Structures are given as C-alpha cells and as structure tokens.
Structure 1
Amino acid sequence: MMSEPYDLRKVLAELNEIPGQYHETNREIDPEAELSGVYRYIGAGGTVMRPTQEGPAVTFNNIKGFPNARVSIGTMASRKRVGEILHHDYRTLGKLLQHSVENPVKPIQVTKKDAPVQEVVHLATDSNFDIRTILPAPTNTQEDAGPYITMGVVLGSDPDKTMSDVTIHRMVLEDKDTIGMYIMPGGRHIGHFHKEFEALNKPMPITINIGLDPAIAIGTTFEPPTTPLGYNELWVAGALRKEPVQLVAGITVDEMAIARAEFVIEAEIMPNQTMQEDINTNTGKAMPEFPGYTGDANPAVNVVKVKAITHRKDRPIMQTTIGPSEEHVSMAG
C-alpha cells in the first residue's frame, strides 16, 4: 500500500511523535493580536522579547469567531525541527536543498475528487461571501493594517502559460473580496508575470495556497540566481519529498492550486491598480517585520480581487507566521 502523500496534517502528526516539538491547545484564542502574543512566549525564538526560547510548533484548535477552523504557527521555527520534518540531518540541510534544486521533481495534476482542498467551495458571488469571516487570518498587533496572510504561497503563470512559479508575499484582508498584496520591486517571478499582464491590461489569475507541507514553503523561498526565471520552486519541494507536488485546476480561475493545501484563495491581481495598505486602520503601520520592528504601511499595494475560497471539510488549518521570529529567519536563511 502506498503511503499518504505529504501535507501539513501528515507533518504535524509526525511532529507530535517527537517530544517537545509540537503542542496543541483547545483554549479559546482571539486571532486579533492575542494568538501571536501567546506564541511569542511559547516558541517564537529569534528577535522577539527576551528571554527567547526554542519552543514547539503550536496549533490553536479553538479560534474565537471561527468555530470550524484552526491556526498553526511555528512549524519551521527551528533548524532541528526542519531536519525532523525533512528526515535529514539539520546540519547539512543546505546541501540537501542544493541537491533538490539540481534534481527537480515536477508536479502532477490530479482531479477535483483527489484534491482535499476543494471539498468545500465558497464563491465570491454567494450572497454572504466575506473572506474575513472564512479565513481566520491573525492580526499580530493592535497597530496592524488588518488580518494578514503571512504563509500564503502564491502560484501564478505568465500570460502564455509557458512558465509558472510560486512566491510568498504579505497580504492583508481589506474587505469582503479584496486583498492588498505587497509585491517587492523586482518582485521575483510573480512580479515579472504581473508586469506582463499589466502590459496587456489584463488581470492575472493566481491561487493563494495556505496550510502546506513545509517542504513547499521552504522550496518557495528560493530566489534567482539559484532558481532563474522559468524554474518553478514546486520542483524543489517534489525533490525534497521524492514525490511530486499534486496540483488541481482552479474552479473559478485559469490557474492551478495545490491540491493538498488546507485553504486556497482563487483570485486575480488587478492590472495597473493599487490601494493604501492600511486603508481600514490608518495607523501607518503594516505588521511586524523580521528584524523586530513594525513595518510601515505601503501607500500602494497591489489590488487582488477574490473569486472563490476553497478548503478542506474537516476543520481546515490556517498556517501563519509572525514577523520577528526564528521561523522567518530560518526560512530566509
């Protein structure tokens, strides 16, 4: 019998078998500025308030206002834990990653019935659709511009569908069907594709994939020149797991989604359109950055219009990270 393919649930189950690496709590937690504060003292490490410690990954099972969802944080907040997740000596992870880049394993496509992430579908055309009531996206501090998606892997392609790529961006929930996405100048390959769509004055279809096997998130952090334009970092994740990442066709957009994600947002980046990141709060702040300070809100983030949200039926897990933490430093490294 073939073993189940890797996804976040399989990884959390494996971590749960290793003492000190994983913690679940059923105590109610407020996603607004409380969840990140609790985690900061349990397991953040890195640049948060002293004393820092290398604590467990944490899953919060009881999220205020979101009875059917969970939030997980800190999976990759320790090199040793990443070694356990990838079944590799943490001291030579760099070599493992280099080997994976050089020996890519490309994704495969599966049907909707084999894609757990499409078990439940919310369409933006539904009368009560509101991304802010579906996604338990945390707010890190009272000053944040809003609830943030910090561990959403954006999958997009060029207009001719000759190249696809994945990147991670910070994304704030702005209203019921709008996300503000910060694409850094020169914004890696997604930014390159978006510029091509803008030249055609066309919206760019994307999927935002949340709640993933950490091998995917780790692969996604690669940048040029290691992974040049045309190299899709999902190939790295396939190599790390020695099994291809499974993709499924989007329901409302002409783009692929990661089939074993927990949540997928199907959306379009609008051409030649921006908005103020903190339009709802006007605090002038975005969210905590990895050096430890709260970053300034951007006056002009890209406008992303949501077409649908799909997710697993059984209490989907929102994966998140907090800016100043060992997790961010570890991924960046």
Structure 2
Amino acid sequence: MVGFEDLRSFMDALEKEGELKKVEKEVDPKYEIAAVLDELDKKGGPAVLFKNVKGYKTSVVGNICGTRKRIGKALGVEYDKVTFKYMEALEKPVPYRVVGSGPVKENVFNSGFDVLELLPVLTHSEGDVGPYVTMGVLIYRDPETKAKGASIQRIQVKGNNRLVVFPATRPLIDYVGNAEKMDVPMEVAITVGYEPAFLLAACAEVPVGFDKLTLVGSLKGKELNVVKCETLDLEVPTNCEFVLEGELLPKVREDEGPVGEAWGYYTTSKSPVINIKTITCRENPIYQATTFTSMETYNLIAIPLEAALFKAIQRHVPTVKNVHIDSTWFHAFISIEKKREGDSRTALLIALESPFIKHAVVVDEDVDIYSLRDVWWAIDTRFQGDKDLLVVSGMPSMNIDPSCGELTAKVGVDATKTLAEQEKFRRIKVARKVKLEEYLS
C-alpha cells in the first residue's frame, strides 16, 4: 500500500467515505471552531473542514486523526493493527529525498507579516490567554551535535512574528539547553498541515539523533519528498500547508499561558521565544488544528506509547497480543495469552513502570481491548479485588497529574482467567456470522 501524498488527498478520500464534512457558515477562530471540534470529539464524529473562517481566506480542518479508523486508513491497515504497523515502520526507516521545490513554496513571505494575519490560529478554552498552534510539527537541529529532531509542542502566538513554545519532550529540551550553553539561537521550522503518517512520525519514541522524517516513508510506503527551507539549514515536507521558519532565542523566557492542556486543567510556564523570519505556504492553504483534550491529541501520543509498552512487555511475556492506551494517557489495557499464572502480574508491573501509565488492566486474548464494554465485562467476571488488585506506592509521578506530588500510587488490575479453571470461563459464542446489510434495508 502506498500512502497519501498530503493532507488534501487524505481529506478527499475521507470525504468520499463520509468521514469528512464541510461547514459553509462563517465561524470564529476564537472559541467557536474549538467548541465545534469539542462536540464532534465527544460524539466520535467525522473530520471537518471550516471553509468560511471569520477574518481569513484560509480554511481550517480538524479531527483528522480523531479515530483509529481514520489513522488506519492513512496507514493502509485496520484500526486494531495501527500499533503493529507503527512498530514495523520503526524497524524499517525509509530515507527521504531532497528536491528543488514543492507546493509549500508557492507563497513566500519574508517581511512585514503578522503570523495571526496569515494563519487562523485558534483560541480554545475560556481561560486561555490567547491563540495556540496545536498541530505544528517543530523540526530543529541541535546546534552542538547537529542532530535533527521533530516533535509536536504547544505554541502560543503572541503577535507579529513572536511565538512562545513549551518544550515538553526530549530531545527538544536537551537541544534548547545546548543552544543556551553555547549562547546561540537554534533554527526551528514549524510545519502545519499534513496527513497522519507525518504527525505520527513526529510523536515517535526514538533514540536521540534518529531522524524522524525517515519514519514518514516507512509509514506511507514511499519516500518522503522534502525541500530546503528559505532561511534555515533544515528540510521540510514539500506538501505541507505552511512552514514558519525562525530562531529559538537563547536564554530568553516569556510568560506562556494560562492554557487548558491535554489533561483537562490550566497551566502556565516561562518558556523560550521563537522569532519567525519567513513564512511559506501553499496556494489557498489549509490550517490544521486540534483541541488539547481531543481523542486526536490522545491518539497521536498513545500509538507510539503503545508500541514502546508492547516491546517492553514482550521481552518478558512473549505471548502478549496487544496494548491499547485508552482515552487518556494514564490507562493501559493489555491483552495476553496467559501461559503461566505470573504472566499477568509481570505485564502489569512492566506497564506501570512507564511514567505515563497510572492504571493498567490485563485481560485474556478473548477480550477486545478497544471496547470499554468488553474490558469492564472482564473486570466484572474475572477479577477479585482481594487477590487480583496490585497497588504500587511511591512511584515517580507525572507533573501533569494534579492529584499527586512528587510521588504517586499506581494500580494494576488482573482480569484474566485462572489457568486451572479455563472451562468455567468459556465465553458465549454466536453460532453464525451474518452481514446486517442482507437483513436491514
């Protein structure tokens, strides 16, 4: 399977299947678009293209990665095989190809621009200080080692050409530190508007120095075309919608936030400043956005985490079948074929070692870990709290969890069958498979 060329071709495919809807009425990028996206997210709705954005000629698209089904379509697999496709891609990176130009160079703005005049950046929650770029992939280079990096970070737009970025993940944290140690600016390109393969690659858990752009080709099934930036020694995808080229200033911090973040609470920080020098974009560009608390946000973070957890568990429980991070980053559902009574507890302990996982449930392979109903059924009928509950105290906590201090308690639930009583736990099985379209008009 060869993946989609760009965001636009993926949107066309979604529209043909009823997975993308268009909004013709005028919508406001301050609060209103985010409110619509939030309602769509709650209902598991389609991707949506806002064609008439107040004050802009640019359209806004959101909820592209809102379901595993849509992500699976982008990767050419079913929803429950996305994590395995991702793990396969990690093992077989595909070098990208540098070309002379591309659609993202169709318009070039070198001076006299205001970011907020060109990009309809959304303001999301009622307590937010202002507009935030939420689907911008930062591409950067360590000024000391010259190693490349890419990641999605939250970016506050302060106006004119000034942005503030919260560096939440490595290696960006380390690269910023190296730039400040050397007292030199760090080149940064912020790309906006691409299909799921590029977004997933940016969220990958990989060793420092690994070029994440090589994952895009392995996820898509064809090499990625990239082009040199106008003012930076960095390459960006030729088919993205926008590129903001700039420099992250050393030892300069400004107030960032308050902003409602992915865990559902407001946060603030003192964060580095980026000065944008040049903006390039496609003709009639499409601005891509998401809300902080959406399934789209969780999916992009969960899938790389699932891959890492699966590999960690597999080293000790070879019969692990699948791992799913549900709804928020804190919950892991693990499917295993239990060969020994200790397998389920081993899987739980390994999962709970992850700083992201606060609660883990292990089930047998006959339970659908993508169905909360099925997981709860397993807990209701195969779990006893006095012997199958694991509580681990004094574990390092995530600073995004307001219920704990420096340390947290983690919980594991063993909802697997006992090996000695397999027959007692044999599930009811429907006698025939049918196609509903043959019965319902």
Scaled to the shorter chain, the TM-score interval is 0.7 to 0.9
Is 1:10 the equivalent of 2:9? yes
More off after superposition, 196-205 vs 69-78: 196-205
**Conserved? CA contact 2:4–2:10, under 8 Å:** no
Task: Map 1:54-69 onto structure 2 (within 5 A).
Answer: 54-67=44-57, 69=58
Distance in 2 between residues matched to 1:304 and 1:80, nearest whole Å: 36
C-alpha RMSD over aligned residues:
1.6
Distance in 2 between residues matched to 1:96 and 1:38, nearest whole Å: 31
Task: Map 1:322-333 onto structure 2 (within 5 A).
Answer: 322-333=291-302
SS of 1:166 mapped into structure 2: strand
Is 1:122 the equivalent of 2:128? no
Q: Deviations over 1:180-233 (max 9, x none)?
A: 10012xx3122222222211111001100000121010111112xxx1011122
Alpha-carbon distance, 1:301 to partner:
1.0
Structure with greater helix percent: 2
Alpha-carbon distance, 1:254 to partner:
2.4
| Aligned residue in 2 for 1:104 | 93
**Conserved? CA contact 2:261–2:267, under 8 Å:** no
Is 1:266 the equivalent of 2:245? yes
Distance in 1 between residues matched to 2:295 and 2:200, nearest whole Å: 14
Task: Map 1:306-325 onto structure 2 (within 5 A).
Answer: 306-313=276-283, 315-325=284-294
Task: Map 1:213-228 onto structure 2 (within 5 A).
Answer: 213-223=195-205, 227-228=206-207
Work out the number of aligned pairs and report it. 301
Match of residue 303, structure 1, among 259, 263, 273 = 273
Matched letter for residue 24 of structure 1: K
Distance in 1 between residues matched to 2:243 and 2:213, nearest whole Å: 16
| Aligned residue in 1 for 2:233 | 254
Q: Deviations over 1:22-63 (max 9, x none)?
A: 11111110000000101222x21xxxxxxx321000110111
Q: Deviations over 1:236-286 (max 9, x none)?
A: 2110111122211111222222211100000100011110114xxxxxx21
Alpha-carbon distance, 1:141 to partner:
2.1
| Aligned residue in 2 for 1:281 | none
Distance in 1 between residues matched to 2:27 and 2:118, nearest whole Å: 16
More off after superposition, 245-254 vs 199-208: 245-254
Q: Deviations over 1:128-169 (max 9, x none)?
A: x11111111110023212111000000011226742121010
Distance in 1 between residues matched to 2:61 and 2:150, nearest whole Å: 21
Task: Map 1:1-333 onto structure 2 (within 5 A).
Answer: 6-19=5-18, 21-41=19-39, 43-44=40-41, 52-67=42-57, 69-112=58-101, 115-123=102-110, 125-126=111-112, 129-159=113-143, 162-184=146-168, 187-223=169-205, 227-278=206-257, 285-286=258-259, 288-293=260-265, 295-298=266-269, 300-313=270-283, 315-333=284-302
Alpha-carbon distance, 1:4 to partner:
9.6
TM-score (norm 1): 0.87
SS of 1:212 mapped into structure 2: coil
Distance in 2 between residues matched to 1:209 and 1:182, nearest whole Å: 16
Q: CA 1:160–1:200 in 2, change beyond 3 Å: closer, same or farther? A: closer
Q: CA 1:167–1:4 in 2, change beyond 3 Å: closer, same or farther? A: closer
Alpha-carbon distance, 1:5 to partner:
6.0
SS of 1:109 mapped into structure 2: strand
SS of 1:297 mapped into structure 2: strand
Distance in 1 between residues matched to 2:76 and 2:94, nearest whole Å: 18
Distance in 2 between residues matched to 1:233 and 1:222, nearest whole Å: 7
Distance in 2 between residues matched to 1:33 and 1:5, nearest whole Å: 31
**Conserved? CA contact 2:96–2:224, under 8 Å:** yes
Matched letter for residue 11 of structure 2: L
Distance in 1 between residues matched to 2:99 and 2:49, nearest whole Å: 28
Distance in 1 between residues matched to 2:295 and 2:126, nearest whole Å: 22
Q: Which runs of 5+ in 1 are unaligned?
A: 45-51, 279-284
Determine what percentage of the aligned residue pairs are the same residue. 29
SS of 2:171 mapped into structure 1: helix
Q: Which runs of 5+ in 2 are unaligned?
A: 303-441
Distance in 2 between residues matched to 1:91 and 1:174, nearest whole Å: 40
Q: CA 1:165–1:28 in 2, change beyond 3 Å: closer, same or farther? A: same
Distance in 2 between residues matched to 1:198 and 1:109, nearest whole Å: 30
| Aligned residue in 2 for 1:47 | none
Distance in 1 between residues matched to 2:281 and 2:3, nearest whole Å: 19
**Conserved? CA contact 1:15–1:85, under 8 Å:** no
TM-score (norm 2): 0.66
